[in-house]
Amino acid sequence: MKLIAEFNENITPIITEAKEDGKKDYFIEGIFMQADIKNRNGRVYPKEIMEKEVGRYVKEFVEKQRAFGELGHPEGPTINLDKVSHLIQSLTLEGSNYVGKAKILSTPNGQIVRNLIDDGAKLGVSSRGLGSLEQKGNAQYVKDDFQLATAGDIVADPSAPEAFVEGIMEGVEWIMGKNGVLTAIQAEDFQKTLKSARLNNLEETKLNLWKRFVENL
């Protein structure tokens, strides 16, 4: 599966009135994800696939207050608690749009986001997940193995998600291993090894590559 990130910039910051202790609550709200629409990266998320996965995400993460997001563009599909900046509190379907609301936390990265909002910075969100892609015409369609890591990391650069997926993660695929642990494999390295293998030891080479992969699960 490939790491897939999508950017949405229709996000509105919300600051509540100061409490008795003088502290304010910060939120962001807007379109986090879209279904049945070809996005800026040339990908389409079929509505039935999106509904199923978002339903699971809401039940397992949002409702249990575990739907965290990070500041910036993480390099993998897992959530890094030391980089968390916000907690997604709701995610609802409106037409083809999933409208989300997230509370900015008092973590170090959350404080950075609060300062950016105070200074008038324009922020966006980038969904992050794993999935296979199928080319259909001039668009890539996300297949039914799609798994959402977070409905939205907070980002500022609308071009960064595409560069991130095509650059840093180029040649890297993610495999679901034992106990649901995700493992990154360097597909390109494996392909080079197979291409350089002689015909009489091709099967042995395949077996050795498989052993290397299993050992890293």
Q: Please give the Cα distance from 60 to 35 (Å, whole number).
A: 21
Predicted local distance difference test score (pLDDT) of residue 181: 52
Give per-residue pLDDT as tens, 34-45: 999 888 888 999
pLDDT (average), residues 8-14: 81
The domains of the chain are located at 2-161, 180-215
Residue 67, CA distances (Å) to 62, 115, 120, 152 in order:
5, 22, 26, 9
β-sheet bridge partners, residue 13: 28
Q: How confident is the model at residue 62 (pLDDT cuts 50, 70, 90)?
A: very high
* pTM (2 d.p.): 0.72
pLDDT (average), residues 9-22: 76
Give per-residue pLDDT as tens, 150-170: 999 998 765 433 333 333 333
126 is catalytic: yes
Predicted local distance difference test score (pLDDT) of residue 209: 62
Low-confidence winner among 51-55, 56-60, 115-119 (lowest mean pLDDT)? 115-119
pLDDT (average), residues 2-20: 78
Predicted local distance difference test score (pLDDT) of residue 187: 55
Residue 197, CA distances (Å) to 21, 194, 203 in order:
68, 5, 9
Query: Which secondary structure element, helix H or strand E, spans residue 108, and what is its range?
Result: helix 108-118
Predicted local distance difference test score (pLDDT) of residue 166: 35
Q: Please give the Cα distance from 155 to 62 (Å, whole number).
A: 20
Active-site choice (85, 90, 106, 126) = 126
Residue 190 in this model has a pLDDT that exceeds 70: no
73 is catalytic: yes
Predicted local distance difference test score (pLDDT) of residue 146: 92
Active-site choice (73, 85, 86, 127) = 73
